[in-house]
Amino acid sequence: MKRELTKILDLTGVVVKSKKEIEKTLILEVEASSKTARCPSCQKVSHRLHQNHWHLVKDLPGGEKEIFLRVNRRQFKCNFCSKPFSEELNFVKKRQKYTKRYAQFIVEEVINSNLLGAAKRNNLTEKEVESMINQVSQEVDRSPDCESGACGQLDSRVFPIPLKNLTRLGIDEMALVKGQGKFIVVLVDLETGKLIGLIPERKAKVLEKYLTSWGKEILEQIEEVIRSPDFKSGEARMTRFPSKYRYV
């Protein structure tokens, strides 16, 4: 049963230790499968477990059930510099009450509706939703050099953001809360409909810098860009990219 739950949970390097069901809520007790962790001070690998620290985080729903993970973020003591440290977990940030993939799930709801609606449907506050948007806007800024669409400690199954086959790019802006001047820029692969970028500012310079970071190979394979009319002011800068771009 534990192996089946671990497979269903589908988080790289994470194992399910036990489960508990309370009405429409499922709580899974999880921890990293590795028996070691790397010391952030001296970069040496340690297997010396110091303490267990458990905390509850919200994950993607499963059907009609809310799913929470009781996460063990273990504390190790370094064998070399003797300093205690907490292990890094690639699916949830420290002191966060939700997984990275749950944050993306909420952001996609915001994009398809609005901030207030997404907050109400998921029993969240507006501040919690805004915090998730800020988190995802940082996490989706990945290097396209990784074919899986994710680099470093970001697992491709947490944020699947492939750019390898991107040919049609959609650029739009969205007001988080009407009348409050809070906007984000949304980048979408128009062929798959998947979110591939989220920028917390709508300045042309910021957009240009973001797109340039994808690299020449990715930019040259894009055949069409459909963008919101609100970005007309930034079009002059964007035409520095390949001339085959067609703005609609």
Provide the strand spans (E) within the chain. 14-22, 25-32, 37-38, 45-46, 49-51, 54-62, 65-72, 75-77, 84-86, 168-177, 182-189, 194-199, 224-227
Summarised one tens digit per residue, pLDDT across range 73-86 is 999 999 899 899 99
Rounded Cα distance between 165 and 222, Å, is 9
Between 205 and 151, the more confident residue is 205
* Distance, CA of 170 to CA of 34 (rounded, Å): 40
Please, what is the average pLDDT of the chain?
Answer: 79
pLDDT of residue 44: 92
The residue type at 9: L
Contacts (Cβ under 8 Å, ≥6 apart) of 137: 184, 198, 199, 200
Say if pTM beats, i.e. exceeds, 0.75.
Answer: no
Would you mind telling me the total number of residues written for the chain in this entry? 248
pLDDT band at 161 (very low <50, low <70, confident <90, very high): low
Tell me the pLDDT tens digit for each residue of 22-73.
Answer: 999 999 999 999 999 999 999 999 999 999 999 999 999 988 899 999 999 9
- Tokens, residue 79: 């064998």
Residue in this structure with the two tokens 């998947």, named with its chain if needed: 194
**Nearest 5°: phi and psi at 183?**
-125, 150
For 191, the token pair is: 């062929």
Q: Where are the domains of the chain?
A: 2-94, 106-238
Tell me the pLDDT tens digit for each residue of 106-156: 988 887 777 788 888 898 988 888 888 877 776 654 434 333 333 222 334
In degrees to the nearest 10, what's the CA dihedral of 23, 26, 27, 29? 140
Q: What is the C-alpha to C-alpha distance for residues 155 and 152, in angstroms, rounded to an integer?
A: 8
